[in-house]
Amino acid sequence: MNIIEGKKLNRDFIFSTTSAKEMKAVIKDNYKFMEDVKVGKVALFDLSRDRYEYVNLKDKEHEVYKEMKEIFDLQFGLKKEGWWICFQNDFNFWSDSIRIKSNVPISSIDSKRCYARTSDDRTDPTILEIEVIVPRKEGSDISVVQVIPIEPQSEISIFINKFEELDYPEEYKPIRVNNQLCFTFSSEDSNITKERDIWGGRKKSPKCYFWVQYYPVEAKKEVRPRGGDIPEEAQETLRNLGYLD
């Protein structure tokens, strides 16, 4: 049974998000489902109530919450493509500097269940400098920073500070570079394309669990930087590489 439809309320179906994606929300009929990305808080509001913004129905309207969460995940979920830099944690994790270096230009970046802010002065299409905040999770949800390369085959190196707060698969062999750990991955590696079971035998830990997944992508014709136009220097580089007309 569709609980929301059963109320026969007349309200347009609306999606909204801030430009920085710090807040994400969907509204259907009389309900609003909202996620505060930075703190990892989700809330369900009944817009027909007085002072509705102060009454979180998340733990009271279970069926409505489930339905609205499905709508939310459909709107803001990530397509399985490109590099998924994944985090699962029982406690908050923050890295003020994660550097991603690719051997091909990066088409776009997106995120799920975490806050990932890119540097405003990006000039190299193969490099991303991002700040990542991964709030504590409820249940089995994972946080993802998605990086889409412009070519189907690619390699990336991920430089992470605050690595003392990370756990990662035993087969990863990062190298220490100054005050960061550097992880290198190739889309040609069959192990990186397999779905990873992170729950098998993993116990609650004060550290954030980190792993990387790769899903095939089609060749992209353009680079779409998040949060603004491509700087002229980067455009010239892309033209020389044949990625822009």
H or E stretch including 63?
A: helix 62-76
Give the pLDDT band of residue 103 (cuts 50, 70, 90). Answer: very high
Torsion angle, alpha carbons of 129, 131, 136, 140, to 10: -20
pLDDT the model gives residue 115: 82
Quick: pLDDT tens for 7-33. 443 444 444 443 345 778 889 888 999
Query: Is the domain of 70 the same as that of 108?
Result: no
Quick: pLDDT tens for 198-235. 655 555 667 888 999 999 988 765 555 443 455 565 56
Of 135, 93, 91, 141, the closest CA to residue 114 belongs to 135
Return the half-sphere exposure (C-beta side, CA atoms, 13 A cut-off) of residue 230: 21
Residue bearing the bigger pLDDT, 143 or 139: 143
Residue bearing the bigger pLDDT, 44 or 91: 44
pLDDT the model gives residue 243: 53
Q: Is 190 helix (H, G, I), strand (E, B) or coil?
A: helix
For residue 189, is pLDDT > 90?
A: yes
The answer to whether 211 and 196 have CB atoms below 8 angstroms apart is yes
CA distances from 111 to 9, 31, 146, 176, 199 (A): 32, 24, 6, 26, 22
Query: Is the domain of 104 the same as that of 71?
Result: no
The answer to whether 117 and 149 have CB atoms below 8 angstroms apart is no
Of 208, 201, 191, the closest CA to residue 137 belongs to 208
Query: Is the domain of 169 the same as that of 190?
Result: yes
Q: Is 241 helix (H, G, I), strand (E, B) or coil?
A: helix
Final residue in a domain of this structure, among 24, 59, 76: 76
Query: Is the domain of 92 the same as that of 62?
Result: no
Query: Is the domain of 71 the same as that of 30?
Result: yes
16: β partners: 25
Mean pLDDT confidence for 164-170? 87
Final residue in a domain of this structure, among 59, 76, 93: 76
pLDDT the model gives residue 6: 44
Query: Is the domain of 200 the same as that of 151?
Result: yes
Query: Is the domain of 16 the same as that of 120?
Result: no
Query: Is the domain of 170 the same as that of 142?
Result: yes
pLDDT the model gives residue 11: 42
Number of domains in the chain: 2
Look up the domain containing 8 and give its range.
3-76
For residue 112, is pLDDT > 60?
A: yes
pLDDT the model gives residue 69: 87
Q: Beta strands 180-186 and 155-160: pairing type?
A: antiparallel
What CATH number corresponds to the domain at position 51? 3.30.1120
Question: Token pair 């540097």 is at which residue?
Answer: 119
Query: Is the domain of 146 the same as that of 209?
Result: yes
pLDDT the model gives residue 213: 94
Query: Is the domain of 16 the same as that of 118?
Result: no
- What would the DSSP string read from start to end of 65-82? HHHHHHHHHHHHPPPS-E
Give the pLDDT band of residue 53 (cuts 50, 70, 90). Answer: low
Return the half-sphere exposure (C-beta side, CA atoms, 13 A cut-off) of residue 174: 24
Query: Is the domain of 207 the same as that of 185?
Result: yes
Mean pLDDT score of the chain? 78
Question: Token pair 């089609």 is at which residue?
Answer: 218
CA distances from 133 to 32, 162, 208 (A): 24, 12, 11
